[in-house]
Every structure is written in C-alpha cells, then in structure tokens.
C-alpha cells in the first residue's frame, strides 16, 4: 500500500498549497472517483456517505482509517465509470427532456 500512501502524501501537499481540482491535475484525476475526508480519528470509524452520482439516493458506509484521507465517493453500484455512464443513459431513456 505504499503507492496509496505516496498518492495521499502528494495530495495533501497539493491541498496545503491551496490546490484545487481546477489547478491540480492530480487532484482532478483522483477526485473523479474519490473524495477527500479529512478526519482525526485514531481508530477506524464507520461513516455513512451519500453516493455522489446525481440521481442516486443510496448511502454507503465508508471505513475511516487513521491517517488516510482518500475514500470512494460513489456507492458500490456506481464505483466503476462504466456503471455510472450506464446509470446516466438509463435515466435519460426513462425521463427524456421535455
């Protein structure tokens, strides 16, 4: 898990320097599938997060791990890009623009 740790370290460096998804390609790339949850838990804790996909009302448990800030931002059903695009096109078919 050294790779994840290095990415997190790089992310935090970007964030502390005032970087945002607009200014940092690394942040932009990582934030496509993940969210950053800054926390001070010293033991693992479970937090319920709402799926970030528009139209999905599901919430899912995220296990907060000490010293880890990067967590999934979509529910299990929408964790892959393919599933999310499929979800969008299904929605468009179900509710065509008036």
Residues at the interface with Zn ion (CB under 5 A)? 51, 53, 56, 58, 75, 78
Closest distance to Zn ion from the beta carbon of 75 (Å): 4
Please give the biggest Cα pair distance in the chain: 51
Q: Which is nearer to Zn ion, 8 or 33 (CB)?
A: 33
Residue pair 49/73 in contact (Cβ under 8 Å)? The answer is yes
Tokens 């931002």 identify what position? 73
Question: What is the closest distance, in whole angstroms, from the C-beta atom of residue 79 to Zn ion in the complex?
Answer: 8
Nearer to Zn ion, 11 or 53 (CB): 53
- Which H helix or E strand runs over 86? helix 81-94
């Amino acid at each position: 898990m050294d790779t994840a740790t290095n990415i997190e370290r790089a992310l935090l460096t970007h964030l502390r320097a005032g970087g945002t998804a607009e200014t940092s390609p690394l942040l932009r790339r990582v934030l496509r599938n993940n969210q950053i949850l800054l926390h001070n838990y010293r033991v693992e804790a479970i937090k319920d997060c709402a799926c970030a996909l528009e139209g999905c009302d599901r919430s899912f448990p995220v296990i907060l791990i000490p010293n880890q800030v990067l967590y999934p931002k979509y529910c299990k059903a929408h964790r892959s890009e393919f599933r999310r695009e499929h979800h969008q096109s299904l929605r468009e078919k179900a509710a065509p623009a008036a």
